[in-house]
């Protein structure tokens, strides 16, 4: 029967793992926090699997559990990255704050195109994003159909669904809007 202890090889392996991977969580966790979380993972493994027969089996179990927990911490760290303050430049003794060029909300050019798009184009895009798969397949067949008759049929079907005039080719209108921008 094997009784695992955190001090020793497990703690050493964890420290080496953090040495190589701490940068993935450094924005949200200190090294001490990481070691504490590692101990909690160790304790969970120890209490959940008290009948381990060899140190190698427990170490493999702990490595898997810690690696998965660490990936969760890294994902949480990535999700928490936001712009918290204005960028600053130190020039001699003066600290200058400036607005970087571009949109800080990461909306970019496509968001501007969407804001300026005609109502019909927005309706088609919204339908593509929220329609059931069958409707989407029919609309895409109209969009990419090999001959003009299929494309017109796809647009007329979309026109009926969206309540637009039957002679309007909304698929071509959408394609042209983004192609000409």
Are 117 and 74 in a shared domain? no
CA separation for the pair 36, 42 (Å, rounded): 10
Token pair for 139: 């609309």
Are 64 and 112 in a shared domain? no
* pLDDT by 10s per residue, the chain, length 181: 788 999 999 999 999 999 999 999 998 999 999 999 999 999 999 999 988 889 999 999 999 999 999 999 999 988 877 655 556 666 667 666 666 555 555 556 777 778 888 888 888 888 777 777 776 676 666 556 555 555 545 677 777 778 888 888 887 788 888 787 6
CA separation for the pair 159, 30 (Å, rounded): 57
Q: Identify the pLDDT of residue 167.
A: 82
Q: Is the pTM of this model over 0.75?
A: no
Decide if 169 contacts 152 (C-beta within 8 A).
yes
Are 72 and 116 in a shared domain? no
- Whether 98 maps to a domain, the answer reads no
- Whether 118 maps to a domain, the answer reads yes
Are 124 and 170 in a shared domain? yes
Are 75 and 122 in a shared domain? no
The parent domain of residue 43 ranges over 9-79
Task: Count up the domains in the chain and report the number.
Answer: 2
- Whether 19 maps to a domain, the answer reads yes
What does the DSSP assignment read for the chain? -----STTHHHHHHHHHHHHHGGGTTTT--HHHHHHHHHHHHHHHHHH-TT---HHHHHHHHHHHHHHHHHHHHHHHHHT----S--EEEETTEEEE-PPSS-TTS-HHHHHHHHHS-HHHHHHHHHHHHS-HHHHHHHHHHHH-SSHHHHHHHHHHHHHHHT--TT--HHHHHHHHHH--
Are 74 and 127 in a shared domain? no
- Whether 65 maps to a domain, the answer reads yes
Residue with tokens 């392996």: 13
């Amino acid at each position: 029967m094997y009784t695992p202890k955190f001090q020793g090889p497990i703690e050493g392996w964890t420290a080496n793992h953090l040495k190589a991977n701490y940068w993935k969580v450094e924005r949200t966790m200190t090294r001490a926090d990481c070691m504490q979380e590692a101990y909690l993972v160790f304790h969970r493994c120890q209490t959940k699997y008290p009948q381990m027969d060899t140190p190698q089996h427990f170490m493999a179990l702990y490595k898997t559990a810690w690696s998965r927990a660490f990936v969760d911490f890294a994902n949480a760290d990535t999700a928490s990255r936001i712009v918290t303050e204005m960028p600053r430049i130190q020039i001699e003794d003066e600290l200058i704050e400036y607005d970087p060029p571009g949109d800080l909300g990461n909306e970019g050019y496509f968001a501007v195109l969407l804001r300026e798009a005609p109502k019909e184009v927005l309706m088609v895009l919204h339908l593509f994003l929220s329609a059931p798969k069958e409707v989407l397949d029919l609309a895409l067949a109209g969009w990419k159909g090999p001959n003009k008759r299929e494309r017109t049929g796809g647009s007329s079907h979309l026109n009926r669904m969206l309540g637009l005039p039957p002679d309007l080719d909304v698929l071509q209108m959408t394609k042209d809007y983004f192609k000409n921008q």
